[in-house]
Amino acid sequence: MFISKGFSRELSIVGALIAMIAVFTIIDPIYASYDNMVDIVDQSIINGLLALGITFAIITAGIDLSIGSIFAIVIVVVGDLLVRGMNPFLAIVVGIILGFVLGVFNGILITKLKLQPFIATLATMSAYRGLAYIYTGGWPIVDIPSGFRQLLDRDVFSGISVSVFILLGFTVLSFVILKYTKFGVYVYSLGGNEEATRLSGVNVDRSKILAYALCGVGAALAGLILLARLGTGEPTAGQSYELNAIAAAAIGGASLAGGRGTVIGTLLGAILLSALKVGLVVVGVDTFWQYIATGAIIAVAAYFEVIQDKLQNLNLKRNKNNIAKNSEVRKIN
């Protein structure tokens, strides 16, 4: 049901992606090379994981501005544990649990203290970042063991790294949760009409807390991958990453008003942003113009949402008019 509603949006993103690839390829044929395509996918992994996580919050009509700071905390804590000799597999589990717990705390602030999601996560964005600095004293954690780095960032075949499969795995998990579980139904219901959802007997607070916990898990996975790639744990990591994640989700069709959004759309949105940025680099566009181009894409995606809403309202009016006309005809007969 929810996928079918957003299917036209997903097709439009695929069309835009194909058109973008065609334009950049005409300008510079190297853009369509295999290595460059792999690079586009590779660069979309971290933003894709963050965007998939934040999609849960956005569908509930919320937002999570703290995912970049959760990202940083996971990086420095796991990095420190690895340097101290912790088993890489155990360190990964600790990182995921840490992201989950920090997300739960966000959810508690929103549900139990009744803070607006924007305010609550704005506060934790600053607080979590401060904790990352305090934990490291402002210094990066270096000499991350190669065993951990190979575990999450080694090439499997033809330049495709393990991290690609982590993104695909989290995508499948998120898709199954939203499509085939009661919790997924509750997430959409919360964004559509929270009060009606509450009156129907749903534990609204628990569902919201779990949605923000999944935001934290997405941020944790992204942080672990960046730690493996760079080999250092920077407390400054992840700054402004939440904006790119929100942009990817919005491009993918997630409505900031809640009740709308799909996992596939968000993933395609992340890939589209990555393809745009890589393309601008390939054709030699200045970095400053890249920000403008990204902003334009977001604005167009938002306007597409407006047009889609207008068309839906128009169809509803037409259906109501048709029903009214049919009723009048029956009365006459």
Per-residue pLDDT tens over the stretch 143-200? 899 999 999 988 888 889 999 999 999 999 999 999 999 999 999 999 989 999 999 9
Percentage of the chain surpassing pLDDT 90? Answer: 69
- pLDDT category at 307 given cuts 50, 70, 90 is confident
Q: What is the mean pLDDT of residues 105-110?
A: 97
Helix boundaries (H) for the chain: 2-5, 7-27, 34-59, 67-83, 88-111, 117-136, 146-153, 162-180, 182-192, 194-199, 204-230, 241-251, 263-282, 287-332
Tokens of 5: 């509603």
Q: What is the mean pLDDT of residues 89-114?
A: 97
The closest of 101, 94, 132, 135 to 224, measured between CA atoms, is: 94
- Biggest CA-to-CA distance, the chain: 85
The closest of 57, 171, 189, 173 to 124, measured between CA atoms, is: 57
- Give the helix/strand (H/E) hosting 28: none
Q: What is the pLDDT of residue 62?
A: 95
The closest of 96, 33, 42, 108 to 70, measured between CA atoms, is: 96
Q: What is the pLDDT of residue 75?
A: 97
Q: What is the pLDDT of residue 38?
A: 92
The closest of 142, 144, 139, 123 to 69, measured between CA atoms, is: 123
Q: Report residue 329 CA to chain centroid gap.
A: 50
- Any idea what the CATH number is for the domain that residue 175 is in? 1.10.3470
Q: Let me know if residue 67 belongs to a domain.
A: yes
220 vs 228: CA distance, rounded Å: 12
Q: Is the predicted pLDDT of residue 288 greater than 90, yes or no? A: no
- pLDDT category at 1 given cuts 50, 70, 90 is very low
DSSP at 140? P
- pLDDT category at 328 given cuts 50, 70, 90 is low
Q: Let me know if residue 332 belongs to a domain.
A: no
Q: Let me know if residue 302 belongs to a domain.
A: no
- pLDDT category at 332 given cuts 50, 70, 90 is low
| 156 SS3 class | strand
Q: What is the pLDDT of residue 3?
A: 40
Where is average pLDDT lowest: 38-47, 152-161, 164-173, 282-291? 282-291
The residue with greater pLDDT, 160 or 300, is 160
Q: Let me know if residue 61 belongs to a domain.
A: yes
The closest of 206, 195, 170 to 258, measured between CA atoms, is: 195
Q: Let me know if residue 178 belongs to a domain.
A: yes
The mean of the pLDDT values for the chain is 89
- pLDDT category at 289 given cuts 50, 70, 90 is confident
The residue with greater pLDDT, 172 or 259, is 172
Q: How far apart are the first and last CA of the chain?
A: 37
Q: Let me know if residue 330 belongs to a domain.
A: no
Percentage of the chain surpassing pLDDT 70? Answer: 90
- pLDDT category at 25 given cuts 50, 70, 90 is very high
| 321 SS3 class | helix
- pLDDT category at 2 given cuts 50, 70, 90 is very low
Contact 166, 225 (CB under 8 A): yes
Contact 147, 88 (CB under 8 A): yes
Contact 95, 223 (CB under 8 A): yes
Range of the domain at 209: 2-289
Where is average pLDDT lowest: 14-18, 89-93, 104-108? 14-18
DSSP at 200? T
Tokens 């300008």 belong to: 27
- pLDDT category at 287 given cuts 50, 70, 90 is confident
Contact 206, 126 (CB under 8 A): no
> 69-84: per-residue pLDDT in tens?
999 999 999 999 999 9
> 210-226: per-residue pLDDT in tens?
999 999 999 999 999 99
Q: What is the pLDDT of residue 164?
A: 95
Number of domains forming the structure of the chain: 1
Tokens 């009016």 belong to: 317
| AA letter at 191 | G
Q: Report residue 229 CA to chain centroid gap.
A: 20
109 vs 41: CA distance, rounded Å: 35
Q: Let me know if residue 30 belongs to a domain.
A: yes
Q: Let me know if residue 228 belongs to a domain.
A: yes
